[in-house]
Amino acid sequence: MSGGFAPGRDVMAEQYRADHVGSFLRPAELLEARRNGKDPQRLHELEDRHIARVLAKQNQLGFEIFTDGELRRRNFMSDFTDAVDGFDLSDSLDRTWEAGEAKSATLRVAGVVTAKLKQVRPLTGHELPYLNKHSPGAIKMTLPSATQFPAISYKRGVTDKVYDTHSALLWDIVGIMKGDLAKLAGEGVKYIQIDAPRYSYFMDEKWRQWIRTEMKVEPDVLLEESIRADNACLDAARRPGLTLAIHLCRGNNRSHWYAEGGYDAIAERLFGTMNVDRFLLEYDDDRSGTFEPLRFVPKGKTVVLGLISSKRPQLEKADVLARRIEEASRFVPPENLAVSPQCGFASTMEGNLLTEEDQWAKLALVVETARRVWK
């Protein structure tokens, strides 16, 4: 690499050159305990034991930011659906997913809103106390974007009896998220990441059409409202010394995906107006497009390049990763870049189609790449 990859002045970007999206593969005994649901105490003990293990592993690999791997969750958004009454988790809307050359599959990952939403406990209240006590370093907490649920939990003939529009549901969720994020920001967390897969709808023409026909709104109008909603949540959490981030992807259920297309369609508006410090972006294959849309990222904000696939077991080549980071530096200064996998390893508790050994090898590669590029 060229000598241009010297440490930068941006403290937030400098802290976490090696990043990860947050979720890790669950061991078989934890999956079995959660599925049988017969012994909550046994489940809690298993969660504690395996969270201690993944915290130690992150520390061993050299990460400076730590999550519990979302091991207490059924999926990346269950912290919300389990803490808020109003979801029928036995029902869901069909979504068509794809995986490489495999045939499309219908996978279900969320409940349907059937009643007025009411928060009954803190969203991450079951996770943070253990992390505050046992994390070897700064804590990253992940939460789903408020924009996640109107798109996947609004069922016509059911939800519209409670919320007239998708927008009405969205802003009720924003109210819950704002209160919880404001509290979370004062509880020792150094890094809050909002996971927002729905922005991929605006990149893929088939999903833009779906927005028009199913949500009854123009995609560009919904994009504006989605950014306003996420900004309202993020602004509630803003504190000195707290890193705020948004993660954008195109689907990650059991190594499947549901959307494709580059960031071009949303880059100028989203990068220019989203009130975050870091953008965690999927860049692990051709579906993600080019680095050119990164030219719209404002000066001083960090782009975390998701160059390493959490979907496939094959380990990426270090030289290729270094070269791609250098390519991205044509659009974002190297001091404002970082590296990570493109998504988590277990957006749902069943996890992606690779082994835990594969997972740790990929995370080790993240740290090694960061050290090599920003030495």
Alpha helices in the chain, H assignment, sequence order: 11-15, 28-36, 40-61, 78-81, 128-134, 148-152, 166-184, 205-210, 219-237, 267-273, 318-328, 356-373
What pLDDT is stored for residue 108 in this prediction? 57
Residue type, 369: T
What pLDDT is stored for residue 21 in this prediction? 96
Task: Give CA–CA dist 21/140, Å, rounded.
Answer: 9
Residue type, 51: I
Task: Give CA–CA dist 108/152, Å, rounded.
Answer: 10
What pLDDT is stored for residue 11 in this prediction? 39
What pLDDT is stored for residue 261 in this prediction? 80
Task: Give CA–CA dist 206/203, Å, rounded.
Answer: 9
| DSSP per position, 337-355 | EEEEESS-S-SBTT--SS-
Helix (H, G, I), strand (E, B) or coil at 159: helix
Local confidence pLDDT in tens for the 375 residues of the chain? 333 333 333 334 347 999 999 999 999 999 999 988 778 899 999 999 999 999 999 999 999 999 999 999 999 899 999 999 999 988 666 655 455 544 454 445 678 999 999 999 999 999 999 999 999 999 999 999 999 999 999 999 999 999 999 999 999 999 999 999 999 998 989 999 999 999 988 998 888 898 899 899 999 999 999 999 999 999 999 999 999 999 998 766 665 656 678 899 999 999 999 999 999 999 988 877 899 999 999 999 999 999 999 989 999 999 999 999 999 999 999 999 999 999 999 988 888 889 999 999 999 999 999 999 998
What's domain 11-77+120-147+157-373's architecture? Alpha-Beta Barrel (3.20)
What pLDDT is stored for residue 260 in this prediction? 76
Q: At what angle do helices 166-184 and 219-237 cross, to 10 degrees?
A: 20
22: left (phi over 0), alpha (psi -120 to 50) or beta: left
Contact 128, 87 (CB under 8 A): no
Task: Give CA–CA dist 63/56, Å, rounded.
Answer: 10
What pLDDT is stored for residue 269 in this prediction? 96
What pLDDT is stored for residue 205 in this prediction? 87
What pLDDT is stored for residue 230 in this prediction? 98
Q: Which residues of 104-133 are buried (b: 16+ CB within 10 A; e: fewer)?
A: eeebebbbbbbeebebeebbbebbbebbee
Sign of CA dihedral 116, 157, 199, 140: positive
121: left (phi over 0), alpha (psi -120 to 50) or beta: beta
Contact 126, 78 (CB under 8 A): no
Contact 285, 339 (CB under 8 A): no
Residue 200 tokens read as: 């991929």
Task: Give CA–CA dist 233/174, Å, rounded.
Answer: 6
What single-letter DSSP state applies at residue 185?
A: T
pTM of the model: 0.92
Which residues share a beta bridge with 127? none
